[in-house]
A = this chain, B = another copy of it.
Amino acid sequence: MKIRILVTGGTFDKKYDELTGRLFFKGTHVPEMLRRGRCRLDVAVETVMMVDSLEMDDAGRAAIVDRVRASPETAIVITHGTDTMVETARALADAGLSGKTIVLTGAMVPYAFGSSDGKFNLGSALSFVQVLPPGVYVAMNGQRFPWDAVRKNTVTGCFEGV
Contacts and interface: CB of A to CB of B under 8 A. Distances in A.
Interface in A104-162: 108-110, 112-117, 119-128, 130-132, 139-144, 154-155, 157-160
A24 to B, nearest CB: 12
A38 interface: yes
A58 interface: no
Interface residues of A, number: 50
A21 interface: yes
Contacts of A109: 16, 18
Contact of A38 (B41, B128, B130, B158): B158
Given A38-B157, A38-B158, A141-B40, A123 B119 contact: yes
Given A37-B142, A124-B126, A127-B144, 9 more contacts: A16-B110, A18-B157, A37-B120, A38-B141, A40-B160, A120-B120, A124-B124, A127-B128, A127-B142
Interface in A7-64: 11, 16, 18-19, 21, 23, 33-34, 36-41, 43, 52
A68 to B, nearest CB: 21
A interface SS class? mixed
A28 to B, nearest CB: 16
Nearest to A43: B142
A112 to B, nearest CB: 7
Nearest to A83: B21
